[in-house]
Structure 1
Amino acid sequence: MSSFDTNPFSASAAENPFEDPSVTQVMNSTVTSVEQFYPNETTGSTSPAVLQPSTEPAPREVAAAAQADLLRRQEELERKAAELERREEEINNRNRTQPGVKENNWPPLPGFCPIRPCFYQDFSEEIPPEHQRVCKMMYYLCMLNSLTLFLNVLAFLALFITISSYGQDFGLALVWLLLFTPCSFLCWYRPVYKAFRTDSSFSFFFFFFVFFAQVVIFIIQAVGIQGWGNSGWLITFSVITSNKVVGGIMVMVAVLFTLCAVLSVILLKMVHGSYRHTGASFQKAQQEFSQGVFSNKNFQNAAASAASAAAQSSLHQGN
């Protein structure tokens, strides 16, 4: 009966979890009160809170640091600029030493002159040997023409100082010097130089056209019509009777004009003889001209603009 008196729902001491020794030890131990873990309470010290000093730099220090940074950057930029300039100088020196790169050498100006040479010419390198003599004589004629025009200005300056009525001739002489000196070099000497260098038919024909006009001008200058600014023979004979000194200067200029006229006729025949042996022709000149014109970008742009304008005009008319 004792088995029936036992409560089936009662747990034995061994099975009661609250009677476990580890649990009862914790429950019976002295626990620190919750008040000791109050988070706002400071332990060990009752001194008031002290603000820490700021570690940010002063404005003067910031300005000094910025200035030092700017100086550093400026020095770096100057160093890079010097390096670029040095490299550019090295490239220029390398180009001068390379055989394929040609540096302009005319007019022969001194090194300190700010204006640099505009053209390159070398008769022995660029002109065939059979044409070098004629080409050099054309160059000497161009230089002689410039010298004659300069002496012509001096002659009329002396004449104008002596006789004030010749002021118009002095002004025209100065105009001829400033006009014919560069035009002679660019309009007939450089074309004949290019013609001999590249065997260009178009350059030959351009030279013949311009140089024939130059021959006529040389003859007019040698004649010396009064009021035209040329110290030729006619005006020289009229002046030499009244002023021997000025007349002597004008005689020398008239001789140079006559020499230029004679040499121009001779050289025109010599260039024409060389032209006949180069195989140049009028058909080749036309081809070179057409190729040069059609390959020109300005001409291409102008032709495209004209075609576009014509197409738009036709469209508007159709509408």
Structure 2
Amino acid sequence: MSGYDNNPFAEPAGENPFNDPSVTQVTNQPSLGVDQYNPFPAQTPQGPAPRTTTPSAAPSQPAVLQPSTEPSPQATAAAAQANLLRQQDELEKKAADLDRRERELQSRGPTGKQNNWPPLPKSFPIKPCFYQDFSEEIPVEYRRVCKMMYYLWMFGSVTLFLNLLSCSAHFFVDTTSGIDLGLSILWFVLFTPCSFLCWYRPVYKAFRTDSSFSFFFFFFVFFCQVVIFVIQAVGIPGWGNSGWIAAFTNSHNKAVLAIMITVAILFTICALLSVVLLKMVHSLYRRTGASFQKAQQEISTGVFTSKTFQTAASSAATSALQQNN
């Protein structure tokens, strides 16, 4: 019955974990504060402690400011002048570059390509004036006829040169034929470039751009060229042509006669070829759908879009307004 006298809520003796001797020894030691805590406890030195030397402080010196040197007016002016000279050199280089590009653009044709006709050497002072490339600019269906027109122009130019030689030979035999010699020189100098510009280049442009105006201009000028070839083949005396009549009436030398007959044959061939090619070009012209109305439209469009016409119109309008005011 003695067991009922014990307190059931009392801690049993011998069962408290904190009554362990190792725990009570630690808890009973005085606690050290944070300020007194040394994480590196002192150890017994095995030998003499190393001798430490503190570096001596360097003697302080006052800061010395370097005196500021300002450039003299002469140095400033010299620097400004050098800068101006440098800028002037740069501007001159840019101007030279622009001039070179402008010359290159001027040497190019309307298509923006480098001119290649006439084929002159690069060292020649005169540069090519036109761009010509049959395989690139002329359609296949017009290329053959266009080349034939070019060969006709070259054949006619050679014939005019031979006509000049024939008239020269005739003048050496008969000095009274000086008029024929002078006119033969004039025909060669005049007709060679004019035929190229007045009927060959228009037909080339007509085949290239299908221009009705170029076709009409070519037909008008080339018809006159056919008439000139016929007159040259006939050879009216005193007209500067070694044609058939001039060959049989004005020469008594067999060598000169043979030369003049050869030139008369060449003029006849030129006349026949020109008639044939005129018909061929006309047949191609009818296939292209060109007409007189289209030619009028091209003329009006070209006139109104021309810078010369626009400048003249603006100046006329300005002068009219000034007069009214």
* Match of residue 248, structure 1, among 258, 267, 271: 258
Give the length in aligned residue pairs: 245
The answer to whether residue 113 in structure 2 is matched with residue 102 in structure 1 is yes
Q: Tell me how far 1:301 sits from its aligned partner.
A: 3.0
* Match of residue 242, structure 2, among 231, 235, 240: 231
User: Aligned residue for 2:155?
Assistant: 144
What secondary structure sits across from 1:215 in the alignment? helix
TM (norm. structure 2) is: 0.66
User: Aligned residue for 2:285?
Assistant: 275
* 1:27-42 equivalences in 2 (<5 Å): none
Q: Counterpart of 2:138 in structure 1: which amino acid?
A: I
User: Partners of 1:311 and 1:148 in 2: how far apart?
Assistant: 58
User: Partners of 2:286 and 2:121 in 1: how far apart?
Assistant: 40
* Match of residue 193, structure 1, among 204, 223, 244: 204
Question: After superposition, what is the alpha-carbon deviation per residue over 1:138-194, rounded to whole angstroms, capped at 9, x for unaligned?
Answer: 000000111011111111011111110000010000000110000000000000000
Q: Percent identity?
A: 62
Question: After superposition, what is the alpha-carbon deviation per residue over 1:41-67, rounded to whole angstroms, capped at 9, x for unaligned?
Answer: xxxxxxxxxxxxxxxxxxxxxxxxxxx
Contact residue 201 and residue 282 of structure 1 kept, 8 A: yes
Name whichever structure is richer in helix by fraction: 1
The answer to whether residue 298 in structure 2 is matched with residue 288 in structure 1 is yes
The answer to whether residue 186 in structure 2 is matched with residue 171 in structure 1 is no
Q: Counterpart of 2:296 in structure 1: which amino acid?
A: Q
Contact residue 194 and residue 200 of structure 1 kept, 8 A: yes
Q: Tell me how far 1:81 sits from its aligned partner.
A: 7.2
> Cα gap change, 1:78/1:255 in structure 2, threshold over 3 Å: closer, same or farther?
farther
> Cα gap change, 1:297/1:167 in structure 2, threshold over 3 Å: closer, same or farther?
same
The answer to whether residue 217 in structure 2 is matched with residue 206 in structure 1 is yes
* Match of residue 142, structure 2, among 131, 135, 138: 131
> Cα gap change, 1:144/1:304 in structure 2, threshold over 3 Å: closer, same or farther?
same
* Match of residue 154, structure 1, among 160, 165, 178: 165
User: Partners of 2:85 and 2:246 in 1: how far apart?
Assistant: 69
User: Partners of 2:183 and 2:263 in 1: how far apart?
Assistant: 15
Q: Tell me how far 1:236 sits from its aligned partner.
A: 0.5
* 1:74-89 equivalences in 2 (<5 Å): none
Q: Tell me how far 1:84 sits from its aligned partner.
A: 8.5
TM (norm. structure 1) is: 0.67
User: Partners of 1:244 and 1:203 in 2: how far apart?
Assistant: 46
What secondary structure sits across from 2:288 in the alignment? coil
What secondary structure sits across from 1:157 in the alignment? helix
Q: CA RMSD in A?
A: 3.5
The answer to whether residue 134 in structure 2 is matched with residue 116 in structure 1 is no
Unpaired runs of at least 5, structure 2: 1-80
Q: Tell me how far 1:279 sits from its aligned partner.
A: 1.0
Q: Counterpart of 1:210 in structure 2: which amino acid?
A: V
User: Partners of 1:245 and 1:101 in 2: how far apart?
Assistant: 51
Question: After superposition, what is the alpha-carbon deviation per residue over 1:68-113, rounded to whole angstroms, capped at 9, x for unaligned?
Answer: xx9xx999988997899799989999xx9xxx85211110112221
